[in-house]
Structure 1
């Protein structure tokens, strides 16, 4: 009986550990080249990337590639008619909760990029989270670079 209880406890511990690991696995992203993510879909959500409450989750901080992943994402975008975009980092803003904070638990900051293309009347703000991973899509109004 003691042996059965021990086996049961080990089974429970290892099965929970496996589940936890599978939940924490980052979303897989493909690279078109070393500087560009391969995007295959345009979001239907009008807030995706345009709101600090729904930032684009490129991840990478855990691999020391956070800022690079932000650029890889932006390099995959094109304007509404395929125009080449230009962008610059406006700065950090908007604290959000993330368990990927390298300093421990608590808030991390999003990065805000300003994006424009030839013929656009204004720049667009894009909010990017380099701490957490998510499925990458082009925001509404953008296309995917060829």
Structure 2
């Protein structure tokens, strides 16, 4: 889908693709879930080429880093839904996504209590999922719009 200028939703879930080149300026939803062969750079380039992106699922893409999240945050100012669950290289520290409404970071080995400061930057967040984040020992949040939170299997 390199020249699909009217494309709004693209799912590449569980594909074996190693490269992706997007020129989809109207894309609103992008799903890379379980695309294990896509590199961090490929995901970064694809997502940042979609400035209107509102929903991004890159769960179970083990190569994704905080640097990619920062670049996506800068390029995709309308991002409101992010699923980065099962991404072991993400700490979410210093990542600022103010338009997020729904954030899923379950089973992210790098998420700690220090990560919560960046999460609180998302002031309009309504749903937060932090299940199985083994390094997360305490959660202190100032999120006035939060309606749903899931903290299953956290350390005591």
TM-score normalised by the chain length of structure 1:
0.24
Q: Comparing both chains, which one has the higher relative contact order based on Cα–Cα distances under 8 Å and sequence gaps of 6 or more? A: 1
Looking at secondary structure, tell me which structure has more helix per residue. 1
Say which structure is richer in strand. 1
